[in-house]
């Protein structure tokens, strides 16, 4: 897995973009949806899966999302 983020803190946001080697972004999103984890893919020429943990998520939900991504390796 590779995480993508702007180097400048002025461009930083709550969205987490990443990829999983050998699995396309739409497939990653679909697999996560099957686990009840909401994600989307970026709508740009080069697309990445992304999710947006926020104040409404608890640690367990974020851990569950990370575990789901790790299972795809």
Q: Give pLDDT tens digits for 8-35.
A: 878 777 788 999 999 999 999 999 999 9
Nearest Cα residue to 68 out of 10, 16, 29? 29
Residue 42 DSSP class:
-
User: Please, are residues 15 and 21 in contact by the beta-carbon 8 Å criterion?
Assistant: no
Asked whether residue 50 is assigned to any structural domain, the reply reads: yes
Asked whether residue 2 is assigned to any structural domain, the reply reads: no
Asked whether residue 40 is assigned to any structural domain, the reply reads: yes
Quote the strand ranges of the chain, DSSP E: 2-4, 16-19, 40-41, 49-51
pTM above 0.85, yes or no: no
Q: Give pLDDT tens digits for 35-54.
A: 999 999 999 999 999 998 88
The number of domains in the chain is 1
Asked whether residue 51 is assigned to any structural domain, the reply reads: yes
Domain span including residue 48: 14-71
Percentage helix, strand, coil, to 5, in the chain? Answer: 35, 20, 45
Q: Is the pLDDT of residue 6 over 90?
A: no
Asked whether residue 65 is assigned to any structural domain, the reply reads: yes
pLDDT of residue 26: 96
Asked whether residue 4 is assigned to any structural domain, the reply reads: no
Asked whether residue 29 is assigned to any structural domain, the reply reads: yes
Asked whether residue 9 is assigned to any structural domain, the reply reads: no
């Amino acid at each position: 897995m590779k995480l993508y983020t702007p180097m400048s803190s002025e461009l930083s946001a709550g969205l987490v973009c990443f990829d999983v080697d050998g699995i396309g972004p739409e497939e990653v999103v679909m697999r996560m949806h099957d686990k009840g984890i909401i994600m989307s893919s970026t709508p740009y020429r080069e697309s990445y899966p992304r999710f947006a943990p926020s104040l409404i998520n608890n640690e367990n939900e974020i851990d569950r999302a990370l575990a789901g991504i790790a299972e795809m390796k």
